[in-house]
Structure 1
Protein backbone atom coordinates (compact mmCIF):
# COMPACT_ATOMS: atom_id res chain seq x y z
CA UNK A 1 0.00 0.00 0.00
CA UNK A 2 2.82 2.40 0.86
CA UNK A 3 4.54 1.53 -2.41
CA UNK A 4 1.36 2.28 -4.36
CA UNK A 5 1.02 5.57 -2.49
CA UNK A 6 4.59 6.61 -3.27
CA UNK A 7 4.17 5.62 -6.92
CA UNK A 8 1.25 8.04 -7.17
CA UNK A 9 3.52 11.05 -7.27
CA UNK A 10 3.69 14.32 -5.30
CA UNK A 11 -0.05 14.97 -5.57
CA UNK A 12 -0.67 12.02 -3.25
CA UNK A 13 0.43 14.07 -0.24
CA UNK A 14 -2.32 16.69 -0.52
CA UNK A 15 -4.72 13.82 -1.22
CA UNK A 16 -3.54 12.17 2.00
CA UNK A 17 -4.23 15.41 3.87
CA UNK A 18 -7.71 15.52 2.32
CA UNK A 19 -8.39 11.96 3.44
CA UNK A 20 -7.28 12.68 7.02
CA UNK A 21 -9.45 15.80 7.17
CA UNK A 22 -12.39 13.83 5.76
CA UNK A 23 -12.14 11.06 8.34
CA UNK A 24 -11.59 13.49 11.24
CA UNK A 25 -14.50 15.72 10.21
CA UNK A 26 -16.84 12.79 9.61
CA UNK A 27 -16.06 11.22 13.00
CA UNK A 28 -16.44 14.52 14.86
CA UNK A 29 -19.77 15.21 13.14
CA UNK A 30 -20.98 11.66 13.80
CA UNK A 31 -20.19 12.09 17.50
CA UNK A 32 -22.13 15.39 17.46
CA UNK A 33 -25.17 13.80 15.80
CA UNK A 34 -25.20 10.89 18.26
CA UNK A 35 -24.88 13.31 21.20
CA UNK A 36 -27.76 15.46 19.95
CA UNK A 37 -29.88 12.36 19.35
CA UNK A 38 -29.31 11.28 22.97
CA UNK A 39 -30.19 14.77 24.20
CA UNK A 40 -33.30 14.94 22.03
CA UNK A 41 -36.41 14.76 24.23
CA UNK A 42 -39.57 15.30 22.14
CA UNK A 43 -41.77 14.62 25.17
CA UNK A 44 -40.22 17.58 27.00
CA UNK A 45 -40.88 19.82 24.00
CA UNK A 46 -44.51 18.70 24.15
CA UNK A 47 -44.59 19.59 27.85
CA UNK A 48 -43.28 23.07 27.06
CA UNK A 49 -45.99 23.57 24.45
CA UNK A 50 -48.59 22.18 26.83
CA UNK A 51 -47.58 24.65 29.55
CA UNK A 52 -47.80 27.53 27.09
CA UNK A 53 -51.21 26.30 25.96
CA UNK A 54 -52.32 26.49 29.60
CA UNK A 55 -50.85 30.01 29.91
CA UNK A 56 -48.04 28.86 32.23
CA UNK A 57 -45.19 30.59 30.41
CA UNK A 58 -42.84 30.64 33.39
CA UNK A 59 -43.34 26.92 33.86
CA UNK A 60 -42.58 26.35 30.20
CA UNK A 61 -39.36 28.34 30.47
CA UNK A 62 -38.34 26.38 33.57
CA UNK A 63 -38.82 23.07 31.75
CA UNK A 64 -36.73 24.35 28.84
CA UNK A 65 -33.93 25.51 31.09
CA UNK A 66 -33.67 22.08 32.68
CA UNK A 67 -32.89 20.10 29.50
CA UNK A 68 -30.42 20.20 26.60
CA UNK A 69 -32.72 19.41 23.69
CA UNK A 70 -31.90 21.82 20.84
CA UNK A 71 -35.59 22.36 20.01
CA UNK A 72 -36.34 23.10 23.66
CA UNK A 73 -33.47 25.61 23.72
CA UNK A 74 -34.99 27.47 20.77
CA UNK A 75 -38.45 27.55 22.35
CA UNK A 76 -37.09 28.63 25.72
CA UNK A 77 -35.06 31.46 24.19
CA UNK A 78 -38.08 32.60 22.17
CA UNK A 79 -40.31 32.61 25.26
CA UNK A 80 -37.74 34.47 27.35
CA UNK A 81 -37.38 37.19 24.69
CA UNK A 82 -40.95 37.25 23.38
CA UNK A 83 -41.52 40.79 24.69
CA UNK A 84 -38.86 42.17 22.33
CA UNK A 85 -39.75 40.28 19.15
CA UNK A 86 -40.92 36.70 19.07
CA UNK A 87 -40.06 36.06 15.42
CA UNK A 88 -36.60 37.62 15.79
CA UNK A 89 -35.94 35.58 18.94
CA UNK A 90 -36.95 32.35 17.18
CA UNK A 91 -34.82 33.19 14.16
CA UNK A 92 -31.78 34.03 16.27
CA UNK A 93 -32.04 30.91 18.44
CA UNK A 94 -32.71 28.68 15.42
CA UNK A 95 -29.71 30.06 13.56
CA UNK A 96 -27.47 29.41 16.57
CA UNK A 97 -28.63 25.79 16.81
CA UNK A 98 -28.57 25.10 13.06
CA UNK A 99 -25.09 26.59 12.85
CA UNK A 100 -23.91 23.72 15.04
CA UNK A 101 -25.42 21.19 12.62
CA UNK A 102 -23.93 23.04 9.65
CA UNK A 103 -20.38 22.96 11.02
CA UNK A 104 -18.01 20.87 8.92
CA UNK A 105 -20.30 20.61 5.90
CA UNK A 106 -18.34 23.21 3.95
CA UNK A 107 -15.14 21.26 4.60
CA UNK A 108 -16.60 18.00 3.29
CA UNK A 109 -18.20 19.78 0.35
CA UNK A 110 -14.85 21.32 -0.56
CA UNK A 111 -13.09 17.95 -0.39
CA UNK A 112 -15.75 16.33 -2.59
CA UNK A 113 -14.85 18.89 -5.26
CA UNK A 114 -11.13 19.23 -4.55
CA UNK A 115 -10.07 15.58 -4.32
CA UNK A 116 -11.03 14.61 -7.90
CA UNK A 117 -9.36 17.78 -9.19
CA UNK A 118 -6.16 16.85 -7.38
CA UNK A 119 -6.44 13.37 -8.84
CA UNK A 120 -6.87 14.91 -12.27
CA UNK A 121 -3.79 17.04 -11.65
CA UNK A 122 -1.88 13.87 -10.82
CA UNK A 123 -3.18 12.35 -14.04
CA UNK A 124 -1.98 15.30 -16.10
CA UNK A 125 1.46 15.44 -14.50
CA UNK A 126 1.87 11.67 -14.83
CA UNK A 127 0.96 11.74 -18.51
CA UNK A 128 3.24 14.73 -19.13
CA UNK A 129 6.08 12.75 -17.56
CA UNK A 130 5.28 9.66 -19.63
CA UNK A 131 5.04 11.53 -22.93
CA UNK A 132 8.15 13.51 -22.01
CA UNK A 133 10.05 10.25 -21.91
CA UNK A 134 8.64 9.30 -25.29
CA UNK A 135 9.61 12.67 -26.72
CA UNK A 136 13.10 12.25 -25.33
CA UNK A 137 13.34 8.89 -27.13
CA UNK A 138 14.02 7.10 -23.86
CA UNK A 139 12.43 3.98 -25.25
CA UNK A 140 15.08 1.81 -23.65
CA UNK A 141 13.38 2.38 -20.30
CA UNK A 142 9.74 1.35 -20.87
CA UNK A 143 9.22 0.93 -17.14
CA UNK A 144 9.71 4.68 -16.73
CA UNK A 145 6.93 5.34 -19.25
CA UNK A 146 4.55 2.86 -17.66
CA UNK A 147 5.47 4.35 -14.29
CA UNK A 148 4.22 7.73 -15.43
CA UNK A 149 0.95 6.23 -16.63
CA UNK A 150 0.64 4.29 -13.37
CA UNK A 151 1.19 7.51 -11.43
CA UNK A 152 -1.66 9.10 -13.37
CA UNK A 153 -4.06 6.23 -12.69
CA UNK A 154 -3.19 5.95 -8.99
CA UNK A 155 -3.75 9.66 -8.36
CA UNK A 156 -7.10 9.59 -10.15
CA UNK A 157 -8.25 6.52 -8.25
CA UNK A 158 -7.29 8.01 -4.88
CA UNK A 159 -8.92 11.35 -5.70
CA UNK A 160 -12.21 9.72 -6.70
CA UNK A 161 -12.14 7.40 -3.68
CA UNK A 162 -11.69 10.28 -1.26
CA UNK A 163 -14.50 12.23 -2.92
CA UNK A 164 -16.85 9.25 -2.62
CA UNK A 165 -15.93 8.71 1.03
CA UNK A 166 -16.53 12.41 1.78
CA UNK A 167 -19.82 12.49 -0.14
CA UNK A 168 -21.48 9.84 2.03
CA UNK A 169 -21.18 11.69 5.38
CA UNK A 170 -21.88 14.99 3.60
CA UNK A 171 -25.28 13.78 2.38
CA UNK A 172 -26.03 12.19 5.75
CA UNK A 173 -25.19 15.39 7.62
CA UNK A 174 -27.23 17.48 5.19
CA UNK A 175 -30.23 15.25 5.88
CA UNK A 176 -29.74 15.72 9.63
CA UNK A 177 -29.50 19.49 9.15
CA UNK A 178 -32.82 19.51 7.28
CA UNK A 179 -34.36 17.27 9.93
CA UNK A 180 -33.27 19.66 12.68
CA UNK A 181 -34.60 22.64 10.71
CA UNK A 182 -37.95 20.91 10.27
CA UNK A 183 -38.19 20.03 13.98
CA UNK A 184 -37.43 23.62 14.99
CA UNK A 185 -39.85 25.16 12.48
CA UNK A 186 -42.65 22.79 13.48
CA UNK A 187 -42.21 23.44 17.21
CA UNK A 188 -41.84 27.20 16.71
CA UNK A 189 -45.05 27.31 14.67
CA UNK A 190 -46.94 25.46 17.39
CA UNK A 191 -45.50 27.79 20.02
CA UNK A 192 -46.55 30.86 18.04
CA UNK A 193 -50.09 29.51 17.70
CA UNK A 194 -50.32 28.84 21.44
CA UNK A 195 -49.03 32.32 22.26
CA UNK A 196 -51.57 33.81 19.86
CA UNK A 197 -54.32 31.89 21.64
CA UNK A 198 -53.05 33.22 24.97
CA UNK A 199 -53.28 36.79 23.67
CA UNK A 200 -56.79 36.22 22.33
CA UNK A 201 -57.93 34.74 25.64
CA UNK A 202 -56.43 37.70 27.49
CA UNK A 203 -58.15 40.17 25.20
CA UNK A 204 -61.47 38.40 25.67
CA UNK A 205 -60.98 38.51 29.43
CA UNK A 206 -60.20 42.22 29.35
CA UNK A 207 -63.26 42.87 27.21
CA UNK A 208 -65.51 41.19 29.76
Structure 2
Protein backbone atom coordinates (compact mmCIF):
# COMPACT_ATOMS: atom_id res chain seq x y z
CA UNK A 1 0.00 0.00 0.00
CA UNK A 2 2.79 2.40 0.85
CA UNK A 3 4.38 1.74 -2.51
CA UNK A 4 1.05 2.33 -4.22
CA UNK A 5 0.57 5.67 -2.46
CA UNK A 6 4.11 6.65 -3.26
CA UNK A 7 3.60 5.84 -6.91
CA UNK A 8 0.35 7.84 -6.99
CA UNK A 9 2.03 10.82 -5.29
CA UNK A 10 4.87 10.70 -7.81
CA UNK A 11 2.44 10.62 -10.71
CA UNK A 12 0.52 13.59 -9.31
CA UNK A 13 3.70 15.58 -8.81
CA UNK A 14 4.87 14.88 -12.34
CA UNK A 15 1.48 15.81 -13.76
CA UNK A 16 1.34 19.09 -11.77
CA UNK A 17 4.89 20.00 -12.82
CA UNK A 18 4.27 19.36 -16.50
CA UNK A 19 1.09 21.44 -16.31
CA UNK A 20 2.94 24.37 -14.66
CA UNK A 21 5.74 24.21 -17.22
CA UNK A 22 3.21 24.15 -20.07
CA UNK A 23 1.32 27.09 -18.59
CA UNK A 24 4.51 29.08 -18.17
CA UNK A 25 5.54 28.32 -21.74
CA UNK A 26 2.12 29.39 -22.98
CA UNK A 27 2.31 32.67 -21.05
CA UNK A 28 5.81 33.32 -22.36
CA UNK A 29 4.71 32.63 -25.93
CA UNK A 30 1.72 34.92 -25.47
CA UNK A 31 3.92 37.74 -24.15
CA UNK A 32 6.36 37.26 -27.04
CA UNK A 33 3.50 37.33 -29.53
CA UNK A 34 2.10 40.49 -27.93
CA UNK A 35 5.50 42.20 -28.00
CA UNK A 36 6.03 41.21 -31.63
CA UNK A 37 2.59 42.56 -32.47
CA UNK A 38 3.36 45.84 -30.70
CA UNK A 39 6.68 46.09 -32.52
CA UNK A 40 4.98 45.38 -35.85
CA UNK A 41 2.35 48.01 -35.09
CA UNK A 42 5.03 50.58 -34.21
CA UNK A 43 7.01 49.77 -37.35
CA UNK A 44 3.85 49.96 -39.44
CA UNK A 45 2.93 53.32 -37.88
CA UNK A 46 6.43 54.68 -38.54
CA UNK A 47 6.35 53.51 -42.14
CA UNK A 48 2.90 54.98 -42.63
CA UNK A 49 4.04 58.33 -41.25
CA UNK A 50 7.12 58.26 -43.46
CA UNK A 51 4.98 57.42 -46.49
CA UNK A 52 2.56 60.23 -45.69
CA UNK A 53 5.45 62.63 -45.31
CA UNK A 54 6.88 61.50 -48.64
CA UNK A 55 3.52 61.64 -50.38
CA UNK A 56 2.54 64.96 -48.85
CA UNK A 57 2.73 67.67 -51.54
CA UNK A 58 5.51 70.17 -51.10
CA UNK A 59 3.99 73.60 -50.67
CA UNK A 60 6.12 76.07 -52.53
CA UNK A 61 6.49 79.53 -51.25
CA UNK A 62 4.30 81.96 -53.11
CA UNK A 63 6.26 84.26 -55.33
CA UNK A 64 5.85 87.98 -54.84
CA UNK A 65 3.39 89.52 -57.29
CA UNK A 66 5.05 91.82 -59.86
CA UNK A 67 4.40 95.51 -59.39
CA UNK A 68 2.28 97.39 -61.89
CA UNK A 69 3.59 100.36 -63.85
CA UNK A 70 1.53 102.74 -61.72
CA UNK A 71 3.00 101.31 -58.51
CA UNK A 72 6.55 101.58 -59.84
CA UNK A 73 6.06 105.21 -60.90
CA UNK A 74 4.51 106.07 -57.53
CA UNK A 75 7.37 104.41 -55.67
CA UNK A 76 10.04 106.20 -57.69
CA UNK A 77 8.20 109.51 -57.26
CA UNK A 78 8.30 109.12 -53.48
CA UNK A 79 11.94 108.00 -53.48
CA UNK A 80 12.93 111.00 -55.59
CA UNK A 81 11.56 113.42 -52.97
CA UNK A 82 8.25 115.14 -53.77
CA UNK A 83 9.84 118.59 -53.36
CA UNK A 84 11.90 118.06 -56.51
CA UNK A 85 9.58 115.70 -58.41
CA UNK A 86 6.43 117.83 -58.06
CA UNK A 87 7.65 120.73 -60.27
CA UNK A 88 8.70 118.24 -62.94
CA UNK A 89 5.28 116.57 -62.75
CA UNK A 90 3.59 119.97 -63.00
CA UNK A 91 5.54 120.71 -66.19
CA UNK A 92 4.33 117.42 -67.66
CA UNK A 93 0.67 118.05 -66.78
CA UNK A 94 0.60 121.63 -68.11
CA UNK A 95 2.59 120.74 -71.20
CA UNK A 96 0.32 117.82 -72.06
CA UNK A 97 -2.81 119.92 -71.51
CA UNK A 98 -1.61 122.62 -73.91
CA UNK A 99 -0.37 120.05 -76.43
CA UNK A 100 -3.68 118.16 -76.48
CA UNK A 101 -5.62 121.41 -76.89
CA UNK A 102 -3.40 122.40 -79.82
CA UNK A 103 -3.71 118.99 -81.46
CA UNK A 104 -7.51 119.11 -81.29
CA UNK A 105 -7.63 122.70 -82.58
CA UNK A 106 -5.24 122.01 -85.45
CA UNK A 107 -7.17 118.94 -86.55
CA UNK A 108 -10.43 120.90 -86.49
CA UNK A 109 -8.77 123.63 -88.58
CA UNK A 110 -8.01 121.20 -91.39
CA UNK A 111 -10.13 121.93 -94.46
CA UNK A 112 -10.58 120.29 -97.83
CA UNK A 113 -9.20 123.25 -99.80
CA UNK A 114 -9.91 121.83 -103.26
CA UNK A 115 -13.58 121.29 -102.41
CA UNK A 116 -13.84 124.77 -100.87
CA UNK A 117 -12.32 126.46 -103.95
CA UNK A 118 -14.73 124.55 -106.19
CA UNK A 119 -17.69 125.65 -104.03
CA UNK A 120 -16.54 129.29 -104.14
CA UNK A 121 -16.16 129.12 -107.92
CA UNK A 122 -19.64 127.67 -108.32
CA UNK A 123 -21.17 130.20 -105.89
CA UNK A 124 -19.61 133.16 -107.77
CA UNK A 125 -20.90 131.78 -111.04
CA UNK A 126 -24.44 131.27 -109.72
CA UNK A 127 -24.90 134.07 -107.16
CA UNK A 128 -21.94 136.41 -107.32
CA UNK A 129 -19.59 137.58 -104.55
CA UNK A 130 -22.25 137.61 -101.81
CA UNK A 131 -23.13 133.96 -102.42
CA UNK A 132 -19.46 133.03 -102.32
CA UNK A 133 -19.02 134.99 -99.06
CA UNK A 134 -21.91 133.07 -97.51
CA UNK A 135 -20.18 129.81 -98.43
CA UNK A 136 -16.87 130.83 -96.85
CA UNK A 137 -18.52 132.21 -93.70
CA UNK A 138 -20.37 128.94 -93.11
CA UNK A 139 -17.11 126.95 -93.41
CA UNK A 140 -14.76 126.62 -90.45
CA UNK A 141 -11.01 126.88 -90.68
CA UNK A 142 -8.30 129.43 -91.44
CA UNK A 143 -8.54 128.92 -95.22
CA UNK A 144 -12.21 129.85 -95.27
CA UNK A 145 -11.50 132.93 -93.11
CA UNK A 146 -8.83 134.08 -95.58
CA UNK A 147 -11.26 133.60 -98.49
CA UNK A 148 -13.85 135.69 -96.63
CA UNK A 149 -11.41 138.56 -96.17
CA UNK A 150 -10.46 138.40 -99.85
CA UNK A 151 -14.08 138.48 -101.03
CA UNK A 152 -14.77 141.50 -98.81
CA UNK A 153 -12.01 143.39 -100.68
CA UNK A 154 -13.13 142.28 -104.13
CA UNK A 155 -14.64 145.65 -104.94
CA UNK A 156 -11.21 147.29 -104.41
CA UNK A 157 -9.48 145.21 -107.08
CA UNK A 158 -7.41 142.03 -107.33
CA UNK A 159 -4.26 143.65 -105.95
CA UNK A 160 -6.07 144.65 -102.76
CA UNK A 161 -7.46 141.13 -102.47
CA UNK A 162 -3.94 139.70 -102.68
CA UNK A 163 -2.64 142.06 -100.00
CA UNK A 164 -5.59 141.25 -97.76
CA UNK A 165 -4.97 137.52 -98.18
CA UNK A 166 -1.29 137.87 -97.31
CA UNK A 167 -1.96 140.06 -94.26
CA UNK A 168 -4.76 137.94 -92.89
CA UNK A 169 -2.79 134.78 -93.65
CA UNK A 170 -0.12 135.95 -91.20
CA UNK A 171 -2.83 136.49 -88.57
CA UNK A 172 -4.21 133.00 -89.06
CA UNK A 173 -0.73 131.50 -88.92
CA UNK A 174 -0.17 133.25 -85.57
CA UNK A 175 -3.40 131.73 -84.28
CA UNK A 176 -2.25 128.28 -85.34
CA UNK A 177 1.05 128.67 -83.51
CA UNK A 178 -0.60 129.93 -80.32
CA UNK A 179 0.45 127.92 -77.27
CA UNK A 180 3.45 126.24 -78.87
CA UNK A 181 5.82 128.60 -77.07
CA UNK A 182 4.53 127.30 -73.72
CA UNK A 183 5.18 123.71 -74.74
CA UNK A 184 8.70 124.74 -75.73
CA UNK A 185 9.12 126.40 -72.34
CA UNK A 186 8.16 123.24 -70.44
CA UNK A 187 10.48 121.17 -72.63
CA UNK A 188 13.38 123.35 -71.52
CA UNK A 189 12.22 123.79 -67.93
CA UNK A 190 11.68 120.11 -67.01
CA UNK A 191 15.32 118.99 -67.48
CA UNK A 192 16.58 122.09 -65.67
CA UNK A 193 14.38 121.30 -62.67
CA UNK A 194 15.68 117.73 -62.77
CA UNK A 195 19.27 118.93 -62.84
CA UNK A 196 18.55 121.23 -59.91
CA UNK A 197 17.36 118.23 -57.92
CA UNK A 198 20.56 116.46 -58.97
CA UNK A 199 22.76 119.26 -57.67
CA UNK A 200 20.85 119.52 -54.40
CA UNK A 201 21.02 115.75 -53.91
CA UNK A 202 24.78 115.73 -54.48
CA UNK A 203 25.21 118.59 -52.03
CA UNK A 204 23.30 116.57 -49.43
CA UNK A 205 25.52 113.55 -50.10
CA UNK A 206 28.71 115.58 -49.57
CA UNK A 207 27.26 117.14 -46.43
CA UNK A 208 26.68 113.64 -45.04
CA UNK A 209 30.28 112.67 -45.88
CA UNK A 210 31.58 115.80 -44.17
CA UNK A 211 29.51 115.20 -41.05
CA UNK A 212 30.54 111.54 -40.77
CA UNK A 213 34.17 112.12 -41.67
CA UNK A 214 34.19 108.95 -43.72
CA UNK A 215 33.12 107.88 -47.19
CA UNK A 216 30.52 105.14 -46.83
CA UNK A 217 28.12 103.92 -49.54
CA UNK A 218 25.22 104.03 -47.10
CA UNK A 219 25.85 107.73 -46.46
CA UNK A 220 25.91 108.92 -50.07
CA UNK A 221 23.43 106.44 -51.57
CA UNK A 222 20.34 108.42 -50.58
CA UNK A 223 21.51 111.73 -52.00
CA UNK A 224 22.79 110.19 -55.22
CA UNK A 225 19.53 108.26 -55.68
CA UNK A 226 17.48 111.46 -55.36
CA UNK A 227 19.82 113.15 -57.83
CA UNK A 228 19.49 110.42 -60.44
CA UNK A 229 15.71 110.06 -60.09
CA UNK A 230 15.05 113.78 -60.57
CA UNK A 231 17.32 113.87 -63.60
CA UNK A 232 15.59 110.89 -65.18
CA UNK A 233 12.15 112.38 -64.49
CA UNK A 234 13.09 115.70 -66.09
CA UNK A 235 14.47 114.00 -69.21
CA UNK A 236 11.41 111.76 -69.58
CA UNK A 237 9.06 114.76 -69.38
CA UNK A 238 11.14 116.65 -71.95
CA UNK A 239 11.10 113.69 -74.35
CA UNK A 240 7.33 113.25 -74.12
CA UNK A 241 6.59 116.95 -74.64
CA UNK A 242 9.11 117.15 -77.49
CA UNK A 243 7.18 114.49 -79.41
CA UNK A 244 3.91 116.43 -79.06
CA UNK A 245 5.64 119.70 -79.92
CA UNK A 246 7.12 118.30 -83.13
CA UNK A 247 3.72 116.93 -84.16
CA UNK A 248 2.10 120.34 -83.61
CA UNK A 249 4.82 122.14 -85.56
CA UNK A 250 4.49 119.69 -88.45
CA UNK A 251 0.70 120.16 -88.44
CA UNK A 252 1.04 123.96 -88.49
CA UNK A 253 3.46 123.78 -91.42
CA UNK A 254 1.03 121.56 -93.29
CA UNK A 255 -1.86 123.98 -92.70
CA UNK A 256 0.25 126.97 -93.77
CA UNK A 257 1.18 125.22 -97.03
CA UNK A 258 -2.50 124.45 -97.64
CA UNK A 259 -3.40 128.12 -97.03
CA UNK A 260 -0.78 129.33 -99.50
CA UNK A 261 -1.83 126.84 -102.17
CA UNK A 262 -5.52 127.59 -101.63
CA UNK A 263 -4.90 131.34 -101.75
CA UNK A 264 -3.24 131.03 -105.16
CA UNK A 265 -6.17 128.98 -106.48
CA UNK A 266 -8.64 131.46 -104.96
CA UNK A 267 -7.00 134.46 -106.64
CA UNK A 268 -7.02 132.56 -109.95
CA UNK A 269 -10.78 132.01 -109.58
CA UNK A 270 -11.37 135.69 -108.84
CA UNK A 271 -9.25 136.77 -111.80
CA UNK A 272 -11.14 134.41 -114.06
CA UNK A 273 -14.53 135.81 -113.01
CA UNK A 274 -13.21 139.40 -113.14
CA UNK A 275 -12.04 138.90 -116.73
CA UNK A 276 -15.34 137.22 -117.61
CA UNK A 277 -17.30 140.11 -116.12
CA UNK A 278 -15.25 142.73 -117.99
CA UNK A 279 -15.65 140.94 -121.26
TM-score by length of 1: 0.83
**Structure 2: 5+ residue stretches without partners:** 1-72
| Aligned position for 1:32 | 105
The yes-or-no answer on 1:145 pairing with 2:217 is: no
Greater C-alpha radius of gyration = 2
Q: 2:164 pairs with 69, 73, 89, which one?
A: 89
Matches within 5 A, 1:101-116: 101-116=176-191
| Aligned position for 1:117 | 192
Q: How far, CA to CA, are the matches of 2:208 and 2:165 in structure 1?
A: 65
The yes-or-no answer on 1:180 pairing with 2:255 is: yes
Shift of 1:174: 0.4
Q: How far, CA to CA, are the matches of 2:186 and 2:258 in structure 1?
A: 29
| Aligned position for 1:57 | 129
Distance 1:189 1:144, change over 3 A: same
> Match of 2:212, SS?
coil
Shift of 1:135: 2.2
Give yes or no for contact 2:106–2:252 (8 Å, CA) kept in 1: no
Q: How far, CA to CA, are the matches of 1:172 and 1:140 in structure 2?
A: 48
Q: Which moved more, 1:131-140 or 1:147-156?
A: 131-140
**Structure 1: 5+ residue stretches without partners:** none
Q: How far, CA to CA, are the matches of 2:121 and 2:250 in structure 1?
A: 26
TM-score by length of 2: 0.64
Q: How far, CA to CA, are the matches of 2:261 and 2:149 in structure 1?
A: 16
| Aligned position for 2:88 | 15
Q: How far, CA to CA, are the matches of 2:180 and 2:268 in structure 1?
A: 33
Q: How far, CA to CA, are the matches of 2:75 and 2:213 in structure 1?
A: 24
Shift of 1:139: 4.4
Shift of 1:137: 2.4
Q: How far, CA to CA, are the matches of 1:116 and 1:110 in structure 2?
A: 11
What's the C-alpha RMSD, in Å, of the aligned pairs? 2.5
Shift of 1:4: 2.0
Q: Work out the number of aligned pairs and report it.
A: 202
